Every structure is written in structure tokens, then in C-alpha cells.
Amino acid sequence: MTTPGLFDDLEDDALPATQALASGAVLLRGFARARAGALLDGVSKVLAQAPLRHLVTPGGFRMSVAMSNCGPLGWVSDRSGYRYDANDPDSGRPWPAMPEVFAELADSAARAGGFDGFAPDACLINRYEPGTRLSLHQDRDEGHYDWPIVSVSLGLPAVFLFGGGRRSDKAQRVPLVHGDVVVWGGPSRLHYHGVLPVKDGVHPMTGACRINLTFRKAG
């Protein structure tokens, strides 16, 4: 089991606040930490209306990451493909509104990453239990790539894989802890990325899981 609080403090002392990963891509260490409580309250409220679920890929595989969404558009997958939808397919109702604190954080992180005026219309909520991973993929269901992806890590740590424009490009291994934010856009907007299996542990704010919020401009 890890002691993430202690780990976070050590990370703070040892590592720079900002680390460039590629042209247009940056890790903002601890950027969301002060707002983590408010973000997690927002997550609870959204999930009360649109519970986490395991989507099925077009190929028929159940995704191990559990997902939900908030905002005008939500990312969904089923046997017919990947898409953004204004409604939660489980309830038939619009996705819950995006909490103000989410939109503010996404905008300020994008600005810190060099992208001014980010107004996301989609926030995917990902929950990783220990052992859960996300294989290398591109975020390209948005239909245009004018805006960055802003990705917020809460709870248990994970190793983020950040590759290049081709699946075969070697991926960097980027350790992410509670409160870290990764922004990628411009020349790296379509870079492959993924998450290695999350290790066992308990985080004081999330329990035995990692929560990731991924903000996009999808419409």
C-alpha cells in the first residue's frame, strides 16, 4: 500500500512544477491539488445522476475503466462505435451539467499550458480500480483538433504513457499523482497516450481508486 500524502510532498520538493512532454504538451504538477476536494464533490454529484458504467468497445470488449460524463456532450462507446452524445444512453436524459469548478480548472490549466480561452463542452470521468489500465489510443472522436485535451488526476497514482503521432512511437512513462494535470494540444493533440495498470493502494480522498477527469471541446 502507498502513502500518497507523503509521496506528494516528496514529489513537490524533488520535481519541477512544470515539465514539457512534447511540443504542445505539458505536465502541471499539483495544479489541481488545492481544488481536489471541490472537484471530488462535483464528481459525486455528477455520478449520483449519471452512474459509472463499463462501456463496451465496438469490438465487443468490456472496458475495465468505468466511465461517466458531464457537460453538454459525453463520450460513449458501444457495438456501433465511439461517439459523443448529448444524452446518457443509460437514462436517455442529458448528461449532468459540468460543475463550475471543473470548467474553471480546465480553463486555467489550458492557459498554463499555453492555450487561452478553453471552454470545454465535454468532461469524461474515468475511474480506475487497482489493476485497471487504458491501452494506447488517440483522442480523435472530437472531429476537430483546435483545442487541447486537459486531463486531471485524482486519488491513487498512475503511470501515464505519452507517445507520439504513431502508435509505434516510443511512449514516455510519466508518473502522475493526485492533483497533477496534463495538457496536450497543438502539435501533440493527436499523440497516442494510455495508462499502465494502477497499483494497489488507498488514497485518503478517493479510497482504492484513481479518478481522471478529461476535458475536451467536442462540438
Query: Which residues are at the interface with ligand SIN (CB under 6 A)?
Result: 124, 126, 134, 151, 160, 193, 195, 212, 214
C-alpha cell of residue 211: 479518478
Closer Cβ to Fe ion, 8 or 139, answer by number: 139
Query: Least distance in Å: CB of 200 to ligand SIN?
Result: 17
Closer Cβ to ligand SIN, 93 or 167, answer by number: 167
Residue at grid coordinates 459540468: 98
Query: Least distance in Å: CB of 153 to ligand SIN?
Result: 6
Query: Least distance in Å: CB of 49 to ligand SIN?
Result: 21
Closer Cβ to ligand SIN, 68 or 212, answer by number: 212
Angle between helices 36-49 and 100-112 (to 10 degrees): 130
Query: Least distance in Å: CB of 125 to ligand SIN?
Result: 10
Q: Which residue is nearest to Fe ion (CB)?
A: 139
Amino acid at 19: Q
Closer Cβ to ligand SIN, 188 or 212, answer by number: 212
What's the rounded Cα separation, in Å, for the pair 194 and 138?
A: 9
For 21-60, give the DSSP string: EETTEEEETTTTGGGHHHHHHHHHHHHHHS--B--B-TTS
Q: Which residue is nearest to ligand SIN (CB)?
A: 212
What's the rounded Cα separation, in Å, for the pair 115 and 118?
A: 7
In sign, the C-alpha dihedral spanning 158, 43, 204, 106 is positive
What's the first-to-final CA gap in the chain, in angstroms? 41
% helix / strand / coil in the chain, to the nearest 5? 20, 35, 45
Query: Least distance in Å: CB of 193 to Fe ion?
Result: 6
Residue 127 contact among ligand SIN, Fe ion, none, beta carbon within 5 to 8 Å by kind? none
Binding mask 135-164 for Fe ion (x = CB under 5 A): ----x-------------------------
Closer Cβ to ligand SIN, 38 or 159, answer by number: 159
Binding region for Fe ion (CB under 5 A): 139
